Structure 1
Amino acid sequence: MSGAQPKAAVIAGCIGVVAEVSLEALEKRQAQGWLHKIERDLDRVIRRIREAKRTKKAVSIGYHGNVVSLWERLVEEKEKTGELLVDLGSDQTSCHNPYNGGYYPVQLEYVEAQEVLAMEPDRFRSLVQASLVRQVAAINKLAESGMFFWDYGNAFLLEARRAGADVGVQGDATGLNFRYPSYVQDIMGDIFSLGFGPFRWVCTSGSPDDLHVTDQLAVRIMEDILAEGVPPVVEAQYLDNLRWIREAGQHHLVVGSQARILYSDRVGRTRLALAFNSSVRDGTLQAPVVISRDHHDVSGADSPYRETSNITDGSAFTADMAVQNCIGDSFRGATWVALHNGGGVGWGEVVNGGFGLVLDGTEAAAQKAALMLSWDVSNGVARRCWSGNKKALLATKIAMKEVALLRVTLPHEVEDEEVLKNLLPH
């Protein structure tokens, strides 16, 4: 497990239940304050869920056991009592590497599974596949009863399909669609298309005071952008992210470097970078700030099963965007760039690119930030625009008005969809 799931559930006001086979991992997250309760018994887990629902109290519960056992128990409760205890469900097992410890089969205890993995890898593989089939069967029953399930893009549905589980979509020739949508297809794709993604910064001073200053700068900048006026669909994103950054400090999210992550678009990222650089120059911040982003972003990954799964013009399996972004960032002043493979989905399934830029308070750093961040976001928005996403088209038109040197060829909409249907083979 990651601490992110239970922490996010509580921040959102939910009851979060996360299964983990490693007690060490659970205890670490609890010690960090990212997990409230640890339970080893499913009866106690069910009682805690019901109590939290009754009192309407946000809480995170870590179940020390296999997630398949948890799913199957939730099915049992539904069949026995008629009560659906789970409204939202997903999977974050490391199915990009399921046969080398990324997924532990329900048939074996944790230590025994490690021994079988080492001594009998073929048997381990068969057990994992059977476990995936059982897990999907339980998820399907809960989904049929009203639970909303989505794929995280961790290759869970891909590996489940390979194992023979019932996750397919009849008539799908692309291999990209499953019984359940990926959260990119369902939610994040449109957010990426508007240019919003996980912008990051690290205060190299290591000072919590500096992180607080950057949080306050971010609040001011987003309030200014909202006051200037943005389209309603963009405004909704800014309002959500403004709430996040206002509350981030109180949730005690830092476990190492004094760092923050904030979803922002081209305008927001650029203004944030320039404000940080100015604050380094005038001494408001004690030391340089490094800006970056996740590869899970607008332009940072070519990943047909996750980041680019909602690009439906036939280019989902190409890997040019991440490469162009990485190299383009280097030309425009990034302090370093990285090009890598497999991020979150598995080797051979995705190409990722990233960057780091040190804001040291100089005018040169400001120029690099403005030039590079505009490219880093606009490149991915353009690709999404070309695939027919209307939100990306809106973002591209706005960007061309605001960035004098930006020229993007705009796609032509098909007036009559029947023309395409008649041209393309069934």
Structure 2
Amino acid sequence: MQMTLDHQLPPYLPFREGIRRAPDRGYRLTKSQTYIALKNALRYIPTELHSRVAPEFLNELKTRGRIYGYRFRPGGDLRAQPVDQYNGNCLEGKAFQAMIDNNLSFDIALYPYELVTYGETGQVCQNWMQYRLIKKYLELMRQDQTLVVESGHPLGLFKSSPDAPRVIITNSMMVGMFDNQADWEIAAQMGVANYGQMTAGGWMYIGPQGIVHGTFNTLLNAGRLKLGIPNHEDLRGYLFVSSGLGGMSGAQPKAAYIAGAVSVIAEVDYSRIETRRQQGWVQRVTTNMQTAFDWAGESLERKEPLSVAYHGNIVELLEYAENKKIRIDLLSDQTSCHEPYTGGYCPAGITFEERTRLLHEDRDTFGILVNKSLRRHYEVIKKLIARGTYFFDYGNSFLKAVYDAGVKEISRNGVDEKEGFIWPSYVEDIMGPELFDYGYGPFRWVCLSGKHEDLIKTDKAAMACIDPNRRGQDRDNWIWIRDAERHNLVVGTQARILYQDAEGRLKIALRFNEMVRNGEIGPVMLGRDHHDVSGTDSPFRETANIKDG
């Protein structure tokens, strides 16, 4: 079954003030490529309307670098609604609609108007025409049908069976000579490739909470393995420094606080800092480096957790700390270094606004500044490591970005990146040996009723399924779910994340099924993310330095 959009154009609504917008990364298509881009966008719209919307699409392409179809975005904030408020012929179709809206809500999405959930470019789909069409298909879907989506483009509903997947999604399957960043950008502008990140294009993002538990586990176990902290203690009295307060990186201050640490997180975009402060995930904010470390020092002395956001560049913050001989116990980075040259990494020495201007006007100069900054970043980390700091790559392709910037000495063999890097990834050093090797990974669920009391009931049920005396990991996870409500982790849908192994997931899922059957709670969607065991093959990110076999 295939369909198009309605024969009446929706009104072109104004953009809400104060909502972040994706930067224009430039228009670089040839005349023939531009024709294909317009044709791909117009295919969703009835022919008689093409003459009206084609000029709008061309203007978006030339001024925003992409065709987003802003006219077709529904008005207001796309918050997820209780599942029974969606139209549909099956529960699964309604549930997917809720999760898509959750990914695009103002509270969660990095650039809501450009359909970017997190990671600088990770989109639910390419444009608002696709969004509307996907919603139409999900409303019509029956339990004997499957919707196939390729890079945001819904191919249609196909006859299947109740046991088959309701939706199959692929994103940006670039092959051969086109499998590179430059050609991907062209493909994205042409409307044939969508970067879904991990759970953005997979419709399973549950807000920054989805990263908090993994970050909590990473920091806590880094302290135990590298700082000698006993298993029954937390990170009180220890300092964690990193960068990034965006969609995923925003989990860092919250996770560090729950783990008992003091954290100083650098962020160049003040709007992201303000989002985390309003959500209660950052306690203090400053533009002064000494003030940030003074606050940190006071809390370290009292052995009390504290989260500080420093509005400024991480490289300059680290150089200041190294110059002032400030001890940093744990150090990482969560800038979007998988996209260093398209805005994911802001070079030292320029403002966030200057970064955005250069992306539009002078990408070559921006690239030169990125490379220089990554060299400085590498040099200061090397000095801090020599003084006792433990640094780990946090799955954001930081080490690969440094290598690509010309710092060949970061590679183990000094020649290429094929044998990995001299500094560890968090999977290699921490999460692998402590959690993934035992089968623990992120188990997620969403209470589709939208009722917070359902979430509280599932928290208690999950906790009752865990034996805290079986392993140390179980003890940590039991404490996590016990305290989850107190830590106020929900942003968006009534969702929860809990690291579990296969046995634990099975027990919890069966208990949830029983509760739903008995009418104790409404329907529950179970999920996972890319962080799961064997869930990602990304040699310069999650699986950096990990050997086959």
Query: Structure 2 length normalisation: TM-score?
Result: 0.53
Q: Which of 192, 204, 207 pairs up with 2:436?
A: 192
Contact 2:411 2:419 in 1 (8 A): no
In the TM superposition, 1:194-233 aligns within 5 A as 194-223=438-467, 230=470
Structure 1: segments with no counterpart, 5+ residues: 79-83, 314-386, 388-426
Q: Which of 510, 515, 530 pairs up with 1:279?
A: 515
- Report runs of 4+ in structure 1 exceeding 3 Å deviation: 170-174, 306-311
Contact 1:189 1:308 in 2 (8 A): no
Q: What's 1:107 paired with? A: 349
Q: Would you say 1:302 and 2:532 are equivalent positions? A: no
The 2-side partners of 1:310 and 1:147 are apart by 20
Contact 2:347 2:369 in 1 (8 A): yes
Deviation at 1:193, TM superposition (A): 2.2
Q: What's 2:421 paired with? A: 178
1:18-55 deviations in whole A, cap 9, x for unaligned?
00011111011001000000001112112112212222
Q: Which of 300, 321, 344 pairs up with 1:53?
A: 300
Going from structure 1 to structure 2, the CA distance change for 1:174 and 1:32 (only over 3 Å counts) comes to: closer
The 1-side partners of 2:332 and 2:436 are apart by 20
**More helix as a share of residues:** 1
Amino acid at match of 1:244: W
Contact 1:20 1:62 in 2 (8 A): yes
Deviation at 1:175, TM superposition (A): 2.0
The 2-side partners of 1:148 and 1:172 are apart by 25
Q: Would you say 1:163 and 2:410 are equivalent positions? A: no
How many aligned residue pairs are there? 300
Contact 2:371 2:405 in 1 (8 A): yes
Report SS of the residue matched to 2:484: helix
Deviation at 1:173, TM superposition (A): 6.9
Contact 1:184 1:306 in 2 (8 A): no
Contact 2:399 2:540 in 1 (8 A): no
The 1-side partners of 2:414 and 2:327 are apart by 33
Q: Would you say 1:257 and 2:493 are equivalent positions? A: yes
Report SS of the residue matched to 1:290: strand
Q: Would you say 1:289 and 2:532 are equivalent positions? A: no
Q: Which of 323, 335, 339 pairs up with 1:93?
A: 335
Contact 2:412 2:419 in 1 (8 A): no
1:310-365 deviations in whole A, cap 9, x for unaligned?
5423xxxxxxxxxxxxxxxxxxxxxxxxxxxxxxxxxxxxxxxxxxxxxxxxxxxx
- Comparing 93-102 with 162-171, greater Cα deviation is found at 162-171
Q: What's 1:407 paired with? A: none
Amino acid at match of 1:219: M
- Comparing 134-143 with 298-307, greater Cα deviation is found at 298-307
Q: What's 1:410 paired with? A: none
Contact 2:420 2:545 in 1 (8 A): no
Deviation at 1:153, TM superposition (A): 1.6
In the TM superposition, 1:39-78 aligns within 5 A as 39-78=286-325
Contact 2:413 2:419 in 1 (8 A): no
Deviation at 1:284, TM superposition (A): 1.1
Structure 2: segments with no counterpart, 5+ residues: 1-244
1:172-228 deviations in whole A, cap 9, x for unaligned?
8762421210000101123212111001000001111100101101110003xx56x
Q: What's 2:370 paired with? A: 128
Report SS of the residue matched to 2:265: strand
Q: What's 1:244 paired with? A: 480
Amino acid at match of 2:269: S
The 2-side partners of 1:42 and 1:272 are apart by 45
1:75-133 deviations in whole A, cap 9, x for unaligned?
1111xxxxx42100001010000111100011211111211121010000000010000
Q: Would you say 1:140 and 2:382 are equivalent positions? A: yes
Report SS of the residue matched to 1:60: strand
The RMSD of aligned alpha carbons is 1.5
Q: What's 1:21 paired with? A: 268
Amino acid at match of 1:187: I
Contact 1:189 1:310 in 2 (8 A): no
Amino acid at match of 1:161: Y
Deviation at 1:309, TM superposition (A): 3.6
The 2-side partners of 1:49 and 1:73 are apart by 14
Going from structure 1 to structure 2, the CA distance change for 1:251 and 1:172 (only over 3 Å counts) comes to: farther
The 1-side partners of 2:507 and 2:415 are apart by 43
Amino acid at match of 1:10: Y
Amino acid at match of 1:281: R
Contact 2:419 2:545 in 1 (8 A): no
Report SS of the residue matched to 1:250: coil
Deviation at 1:302, TM superposition (A): 1.4
The 2-side partners of 1:278 and 1:172 are apart by 57
The 2-side partners of 1:284 and 1:118 are apart by 53
